Amino acid sequence: MPRKNYGDVDAIRKKMADAKGGRMTDPNEFRPPQVKEGESFKFRFFILPPFEAGEKCADGEFTQTSELFYVQNGSHWINNKPYPCPRIHNDEECPMCSLGFELMGETQDKKMRSQIARQYLPQQKYAMNIYFPNDKANPEDLRGTVKWFNPGQSIYNKMEACIMNDDEGDPADPQAYGIFYDPYESYLFQLVVGFKGGYRNYDESKFLASVGKRPIAAKDKKPLESRIDEILAQRHDLFTKFDEPDTDKLASLVKSMTNGDGDGDDDGFDDDDDSVDESVKADDDVVIEDEEDATEDAEDAVEEEPKAKTKEKKKAKEEPKEEPEETVAEDDSSDDSDGSDGGEDDDELASLMAQLGEDD
Ligand SMILES: [Zn+2]
């Protein structure tokens, strides 16, 4: 008998993760680190443009065309398993969301409504390709790499605001405006991961408008065309990162919940019992770092040599290390076994409320 090949470790990992009920941690996904009170982390990256089916990418060729720079996604989490939402993925009716909206319609109590939203509605996310330039704000192992990033509403809002803005401001106070993902004229995005009200917070994140639009790779301020092509070819096929929604499965889950044992105790959801912090939108004044400093740093970022990077070099340290559990002290379900990214973002509620058209 010929010797069998057991070598496809990626496939096995995925199967095992599926069996366990979690999602594989994709080494190509950039996940912001956990933070504690008083801590904050800063990263700088360029957002890469939309892609066309057949274009070269890190996974071979893109399987689909993305019209926008992001791919919208979101999952219902039931018994620690993600169920992609047909409403968010395909703009189709979703039985689980319908149930959530129906239950929310039955109460006017704001806290109740947000709890229902949290339990029944998925958080809307926006997957995009990003490129970390050789900037000293970035950890060394990220520099020069293309990752995909799946932020929630609050970061997305900053990007949307840039696209919607026509006003470049004045030289003393430049504003980010228009298309920010043209690799020849791109803004550097500065992600600031802070901590507020018990959650990760991204309020201080922004495009570095003061540095202006620039090529994502340049030498003496001139775009490095071949390096730009190389970077674009390392983008990830975002559509393959998510399973297709299974509306029938969601419908049967809804059915079992609504016809269940009737006492409402076992509704199929995990009781994660984290009460929604109503104060997440409190407007603290934050000291923005010295813009000149930022400009200087960002200048470094673009004086980038087209170094021959060994793509295959594995970077064990890329993913944030296991974080102490006290990061999200009141949440004992944050052991990451559900495949979500452990810590909670305060934009979760913002996202849900946005879906409901409640923006207060
Ligand atoms: Zn849904």
Q: Distance from CA of residue 347 to its chain's centroid?
A: 11
> What one-character-per-residue DSSP string does 165-201 give?
----EETTEE---S--EETTEEPPEEEEEEEETTEEE
Q: What is the 3-state secondary structure (H, E, C) of 191-220?
A: EEEEEECCEEECCCCEECHHHCCECCCEEC
More confident residue, 287 or 81: 81
Total domains in the fold of the chain? 1
Q: Which whole number is the average pLDDT over 115-125?
A: 92
pLDDT in tens, 186-199: 999 999 999 998 88
Measure 125 CA to ligand 1 centroid, in angstroms. 13
How confident is the model at residue 284, as a pLDDT?
29
What's the CA-to-centroid distance between 64 and ligand 1, angstroms?
Answer: 23
Neighbours of ion ligand 1 (CB under 5 A): 85, 87, 94, 96-97
Distance of CA 334 to the CA centre of its chain: 18
**pLDDT value at 10 more than 70:** yes
Please tell me the distance from the alpha carbon of residue 267 to that of residue 119, in angstroms, as a whole number: 10
Work out the average pLDDT over 97-102. Answer: 95
DSSP one-letter code for 240: G
Give the range of the structural domain holding residue 106, as residue numbers without chain letter.
9-354
Distance (angstroms) between ligand 1 centre and the Cα of 237 equals 23
Distance from the CA of 251 to the center of ligand 1, in angstroms? 10
Query: Cα–Cα distance between 46 and 207 in angstroms, integer?
Result: 9
* Region of poorest pLDDT, from 10-24, 75-89, 320-334: 320-334
Q: How far is the CA of 266 from the centre of ligand 1 (A)?
A: 20
Q: Using the 8-state DSSP alphabet, how is residue 337 labeled?
A: T
Q: Cα(304)–Cα(299) distance, rounded to whole angstroms?
A: 10
Q: What does the chain come to in residues?
A: 360
Give domain status of residue 359, yes or no.
no
Distance 156 CA to ligand 1 centre (A): 20
Q: Name the pairing type of β-strands 41-47 and 125-131.
A: antiparallel
CA of 250 to the centre of ligand 1 (A): 8
Task: Judge whether residue 347 has pLDDT over 70.
Answer: no
Torsion sign (Cα): 88, 90, 96, 98: positive
What pLDDT, in 10s, does the model give residues 206-264? 999 999 999 999 998 899 999 999 999 999 999 999 999 999 999 999 999 888 644 44
Check pLDDT > 60 for residue 122. Answer: yes
Alpha carbon of 239 to ligand 1 centroid (Å): 18
**Which pLDDT does position 203 carry in this prediction?**
95
Whether 37 is in a domain gets the answer yes
Structure token pair of residue 304: 């980038």
Cα(111) to ligand 1 centroid in Å equals 21
The SS3 of residue 41 is strand
In a domain, 2, yes or no: no
Q: What is the pLDDT of residue 81?
A: 86
Return mean pLDDT, the chain: 78
In this structure, is residue 3 part of a structural domain? no
Task: Kindly indicate the confidence band of residue 344, based on its pLDDT and cuts at 50, 70 and 90.
Answer: low
H runs (alpha helix) in 274-325: 291-302
Q: How far, in Å, is the centroid of ligand 1 from the Cα of 83?
A: 8
Q: What is the mean pLDDT of residues 1-30?
A: 77
Distance CA 172, CA 163 (A): 21
CA distances from 356 to 157, 281, 319, 360 (A): 16, 17, 33, 11
CA of 88 to the centre of ligand 1 (A): 7
Identify the weakest region by mean pLDDT among 38-47, 162-171, 204-213, 287-296: 287-296
Residues 341-346 have a mean pLDDT of: 49
| C-alpha 358 – ligand 1 centre gap (Å) | 18
Q: How far away, in angstroms, is 123 Cα from ligand 1 center? A: 9
Looking at residue 79, its pLDDT comes to: 83
CATH number, domain of 179, equals: 3.90.198.10
Strand-pair partners of 77:
82
The answer on pLDDT for 279 being more than 50 is: no
CA of 178 to the centre of ligand 1 (A): 31
For residue 101, the CA-to-ligand 1 centroid distance in Å is 10
Could you tell me which residues are beta bridge partners of residue 147?
A: 130
Ligand 1 centroid from CA 33, angstroms: 27
What gap in Å lies between CA 188 and CA 213, rounded to an integer? 8
Gap between the Cα atoms of 85 and 107, Å rounded: 24
Tens of pLDDT along 134-184? 999 999 999 999 999 999 999 999 999 999 999 999 999 999 999 999 999
Give domain status of residue 29, yes or no. Answer: yes
Give burial (CB, 10 Å; 0-12/13-18/19+) of 3.
exposed
> How many angstroms is it from 89 CA to the middle of ligand 1?
9
352 Cα–ligand 1 center, Å: 11
SS3 82: strand
Percent of the chain with pLDDT over 70: 70
Q: Ligand 1 centroid to 173 CA: how many Å? A: 41
pLDDT at 290: 32
pLDDT tens-digit profile of 75-93?
A: 999 888 899 999 999 999 9
* Phi, psi dihedrals of residue 189, rounded to the nearest 5°: -100, 130
| Mean predicted confidence (pLDDT) in 66-75 | 96
**Residue (of 46, 64, 325) closest to 182 by Cα position:** 46
Whole-number Å distance, alpha carbon 17 to ligand 1 midpoint, is 23
Q: What is the pLDDT of residue 293?
A: 35
Predicted TM-score (pTM) of this structure: 0.71
CA 163 to ligand 1 center in whole angstroms: 27
Which residues have C-beta within 8 Å of that of residue 247, sequence separation ≥ 6? 86, 92, 93, 94, 95
Task: Quote the ligand 1 centre to 120 CA distance (angstroms).
Answer: 8
